[in-house]
Amino acid sequence: MAKIDIPDGEGMEAKRMWQLAPHLGAAMGAMGDAVYAKTSLSVREREVARMRVAQLNECHV
């Protein structure tokens, strides 16, 4: 659950959040496309990199 006020409505909470700042949502979509669709890393390499970044940021994996 978000820790910010997100308007009620249809669809997932994340989608409604990005509707508050559409220009940021578009940028995040482009970044996601670059990371997941246009990468030279294999799926295994990408996931290991994500896990390492999470460890460095002290996030639970």
Tell me which residue range forms the domain holding 30: 13-56
Domain count, the chain: 1
In-domain check, residue 28: yes
∠ CA 19-24-27, rounded to 5°: 120
Q: Is 2 within the bounds of a domain?
A: no
pLDDT at residue 20 in the model? 87
Please report whether residue 49 resides in a domain.
yes
What pLDDT was estimated at residue 48?
Answer: 94
Model confidence over 1-58: pLDDT tens digits? 557 788 888 888 888 888 888 999 899 889 989 888 888 889 999 899 989 999 999 9
Rounded to a whole number of angstroms, the CA Rg of the chain reads 15
In angstroms, the CA 11 to CA 8 distance is: 9
Residue 61 has pLDDT above 70, yes or no: no
